[in-house]
Structure 1
Amino acid sequence: MGSSRALPLQVALVAGESVASFIGRLAAANGLGTADVLGYVGGGRREIDPQAVEIRLGAAALEELAVLAGRSVEQLHRALPTARRAAGSSPVRTVVWSAGQGVVQQCAVCGQARRDAVPAWLVAVQEFDVCTRHARWLGRAGSRSQLSLADLPEVVRTHERRRRFERRVGPYAQALLADAFQVAVYWWQCGQMASSGRWAHREAVLGLSRRRLWAVPIVVYPEVVTLAEAMAVRERQRCYGRGFDGQTARWHTGRWTRWVGERLGLSEELAAGGERALNLWLMAHRNSVPVVARLAGSPPPPGYRAQQMQPLAPHRRLVAGPWEEVSCLPWRLGEPMTSVTWQGEGFPA
């Protein structure tokens, strides 16, 4: 460790990039190997694959990297999500990405504009991201890792709406998105909604002759975000012991389910059996406050719909991870649905 000067050529900061990727791009721009840059910051001389591992830097190593890159530590913190986590007792630590986590390649069109020698890799908790500037789907599906969404503008608009939803709801948004995705997976795997025109249309636009698991997040994305928004409406009422109609004595879950069908434009499909997945979610998110306590409680404060939400059971402890791991709903994409227990039509008030 101890270069104490910036390298001759600098690289642009890319929001969301992994530390390993940034080191690789900085090294390549200066005709160096990643082992050389790691040696400068005290990590030993070894080559790394940014698709397979991440680099955790201690405070001193991060400061040294900032010097090499001609940046401040604060700038690296803002651009590189994992740079905010210290490496512990080791100045530099190589960490293999855990199951369900990793990176997606930055939009190729964005990369061409920067003319970097090597691509940037973005930290992705989910297995996908969307470049709204160039309407491209970014995923981890090998040769299908980047797809044009020019003919699926609703998917691009959905990603922008999702970001607004996350800012409005706060950290609890990830739990609701996870549950909404799992409900959509239920529909897709049971065939109750997958035959609807819009999902078949999106698969056709992607050039798929038959359903592919890797494409499911693209196919269902607009419905996932719409459903998460509807779930947030109900959860805001549950937070204050209110039902969907604002009353305290009854929940009127059927009314909420019908409203969801109207918002999605899938009322007939829900009535034909699709409501079962929603009912399973309602069971997991039922109101545990007794009616007497609800009647005695105060009404929601003014402006509560614009405030970030507090986590509610069964998501009291929020964790970052793939949606299927975060969700309270147990099934998995690609696995048989026969083990899912159907609880019936009765729900506690």
Structure 2
Amino acid sequence: MGERTAVWDDPGLYGPRRALPLRAWPVTGESTGSFVNRLAHANGLSLATFLDRVGQGEASADPERVEKYPRCTEMYVNEAGLHYLSVLADLSPGLLQQDLPSLGAEWLLAGGLEEAAEWRWPWEPLAGHLVRYCRLCGDDLGVGEAVWLMSPDSWQVCLRHGYWSDESRGRGPDFVRLAELPETVTAHGVRQQLAARWGAAGEELFADAFQVAVYWWTRMPDTVCWVQRAWTAGLGAREMRAAPLVIYPEAAELAGAMLDFERAGQRDVAARAGWLAGVEQLMVRWGVDVAEGRQALLVWLGRHRMGVPAASRPADGCRLMLASGHGRIASRSGSVRQRSCLTWQLGMTAADM
């Protein structure tokens, strides 16, 4: 059960005085817009009507357009707006912030509790992607309607029900069944194992491998295995939304090879050449053109050619420390692109890479 709103959460003279009659429980990682949309509908309110109770803001005069906001962008509030929402939802501000990432302190609009409550729906989310939550997981929770997650990446995988979802809305299937793509399911499991065993280093190595595969797909989208996976998923082979799904298996296997390189700790010319030759053999097996794809691997090796100075290593020596060149570029959190030392972005033209 959730925490009930406490006395110190008093929203002030003009705020709501009591909770709405019916509750809605937030889903971990849910977008604020998705949650307030469900809370409004649970109580027979349109989203536009509900927003009037959360403070001041500008919305379309067309209520049908307002109803589409949660699937298109994210809602942000200031501190007073958070407390208004807390009263209406009958959940403490802390619990809401725990489950709804866009209510975190770093994303609150300017203005403290003494300011007027305010909300905004910018054209694009300030961070992350709106990705559809697994429909069957939603049914299990009894949410009753679509749930949108605020995801660091533009896709989500539900291993429990075997579904892939992404941020595409109204363009092809909302969900891709993975029953006929077992290699993608396996790849996601490998990604989870890397994170569980090696922590941030494992996640960042997967991110590096994924970025290399993004480079390959951008230059070679007609690679046979990727075309076949896209068609199996009911997607076009050159659709950008298909890219993360179809390159996932190669990215996971490449991440394992990158892990072997880092753990070996040998970074001289001979070691780098030997590793590159081994990965080129994998590329041949995958059907990825070696001459076209080698450049991305050379960039990665360049960023990973120097180890971490001894003075910077943890005293217990138990943690895998990635190359110093990697750490200067990669973020410790965020999307796969942000967590990689390779700055290519899905959607770039080949000439820009």
TM-score per shorter chain, which class?
A: 0.7 to 0.9
Displacement of 1:80 in angstroms is 0.8
Structure 1 pair 281–42 and aligned structure 2 pair: CA distance change class (3 A): same
Cα deviation, residue 108, structure 1: 2.2
Question: Which AA in structure 2 matches 1:243?
Answer: Q
1:92 aligns with 2:144: no
8 Å Cα contact 1:177/1:225 also seen in 2: yes
Deviation at 1:280, TM superposition (A): 1.9
Q: What amino acid is the match of 1:163?
A: Q
Quote the Cα distance in structure 1 between the aligned partners of 2:55 and 2:78: 10
Q: Which runs of 5 or more structure 1 residues have no equivalent in the other structure?
A: 341-349
Deviation, structure 1 residue 191:
3.4
User: Aligned residue for 1:344?
Assistant: none
Unaligned ranges ≥5, structure 2: 1-13, 60-65
Q: Which residue of 2 aligns with 1:345?
A: none
Q: For residue 213 of structure 1, give the secondary structure of its aligned residue in structure 2.
A: coil
Cα gap change, 1:5/1:159 in structure 2, threshold over 3 Å: closer, same or farther? farther
RMSD across aligned C-alpha pairs, in angstroms? 3.7
Paired residue secondary structure (1:8): coil
1:339 and 1:2, CA in 2 relative to 1: closer, same or farther beyond 3 A? closer
Q: Does 1:279 align with 2:298?
A: yes
Aligned match of 1:183: 212
Cα deviation 1:264-304 (Å, max 9, x = unaligned): 88488576664332112112332178xxx88xx89986552
Q: Provide the C-alpha distance between the structure 2 equivalents of 1:30 and 1:308, rounded to a whole number of angstroms.
A: 51
Instruction: Tell me the equivalent position of 1:159.
Output: 188
Corresponding position of 1:42: 55
In 1, Cα distance between equivalents of 2:134 and 2:30: 12
Q: What residue in structure 1 maps to residue 10 of structure 2?
A: none
Give the counterpart letter for 1:149 in structure 2: L
Contact 1:16 1:122 in 2 (8 A): yes
Q: From the superposition, tell whether residues 128 and 192 of structure 1 become closer, same or farther in structure 2 (CA, over 3 Å).
A: closer
Is 1:83 the counterpart of 2:96 in the alignment? no
Contact 2:75/2:120 (8 A) holds in 1: yes
TM-score (norm 2): 0.74
Q: Give the AA of the match of 1:63.
A: H
- Aligned residues with identical type, % of pairs: 34
**CA distance in structure 2 between the partners assigned to 1:321 and 1:165 by the alignment:** 17
Name 1:313's counterpart in structure 2.
325
Change (3 A) 1:81 1:262: farther
SS at match of 1:231: helix
2:248 is the alignment partner of 1:221: yes
| 2-structure distance, mates of 1:177, 1:45 | 41
Aligned pair partner of 1:138 in 149, 154, 165: 165
What letter corresponds to residue 281 of structure 1 in structure 2?
W
Paired residues for 1:98-109 under 5 Å: 98=125, 101-109=128-136
Change (3 A) 1:324 1:115: same
Distance 1:314 1:132 in 2: 30
**Structure 1 pair 100/217, CA: closer, same or farther in 2 (3 Å)?**
farther
Are the counterparts in 2 of residues 236 and 309 from structure 1 also a CA contact under 8 Å?
A: no
CA distance in 1, matches of 2:245, 2:345: 17
| 1:293-332 equivalences in 2 (<5 Å) | 304=318, 307=319, 309=321, 312-316=324-328, 318=331, 323-324=336-337, 327-329=340-342, 331-332=344-345
Partner Cα separation in structure 2 for residue 158 and residue 43 of structure 1? 45
Compare 10-19 and 102-111 and name the one that shifted more: 102-111
Q: 1:347 is matched with which residue?
A: none
Contact 2:304 2:325 in 1 (8 A): yes
What is the CA deviation profile of residues 37-84 of structure 1, one whole-angstrom value per residue up to 9, with x for unaligned ones? 333332358546112332223334323322322323332122111111
Q: Paired residues, what number?
A: 323
Q: Equivalent residue for 1:149? A: 178
Aligned-pair CA distance for 1:120: 1.1
**Contact 1:29–1:116, Cα closer than 8 Å, also in 2:** no
Q: Select 2:155's aligned residue among 128, 142, 145.
A: 128
